[in-house]
Amino acid sequence: MARQNRQPTLDAPRGRSGMLSRNPQQQSRDSFGRFTEWIARAMGTPTFVVILTVFCAGWIAWNTLMPTWARFDTATNGFTALTLVLSLQASYAAPLILLAQNRQDDRDRVQIEQDRQRAERNLSDTEYLAREIVALRMALTEVSSEVVTKDTLRQELKSLLEQLDVRDAREVAAERGGAG
């Protein structure tokens, strides 16, 4: 059996982190983390509360209204089995919610670090631009007497064009004089 090439390719889908995951244990932890977040989100909904209420009401109604031989939890013992089921549910819910909260805290920590780095870059860029503006202002005040305006530039260009026209006229005259 030939071993598959493990080099990342452009046609391979990437994971959440943007890298191809090669560690199945990491994938397992991430899957479990997503599961815990799903549980935490589901337990925080009105639907969950309604379903849990209907479950408890059904349990109590069954064990109160059904014939004695069909009951599995009695009211005389205070619905002990129901209490154990709810305790078991709560004992698993609390750690799953805490795990989901820890994952959210980790994401928040990464986001805060990225925001801090972005703010540092923005501050650095702003300081650089401020220094450049100051340097330009200083350069303009030093050579304010030598600043070229549009009118000065137009006059210089007109003067150069006139000089070129004079030179071309001389060359044409020289060619006619030499040819004639």
Residue 2 lies in a domain: no
Nearest CA among 52, 64, 118 for reference residue 90: 52
- pLDDT value of residue 123: 94
Contact (CB, 8 A) for 170 and 178: no
Query: How many helices and strands in the chain, by DSSP H and E?
Result: 4, 0
For 56-66, write each residue's pLDDT tens digit: 999 999 999 99
| Lowest mean pLDDT, pick from 2-6, 30-34, 62-66, 134-138 | 2-6
CA distance 39 to 150: 71
Residue 128 lies in a domain: yes
- pLDDT value of residue 146: 62
Quote the pTM value.
0.47
Shared-domain flag, residues 86 and 159:
no
Nearest CA among 18, 15, 43 for reference residue 29: 15
Shared-domain flag, residues 46 and 133:
yes
Shared-domain flag, residues 141 and 153:
no
The domain containing residue 165 runs over which residues? 149-180
CA distance 76 to 20: 59
CA distance 180 to 174: 10
Shared-domain flag, residues 47 and 28:
yes
Contact (CB, 8 A) for 67 and 10: no
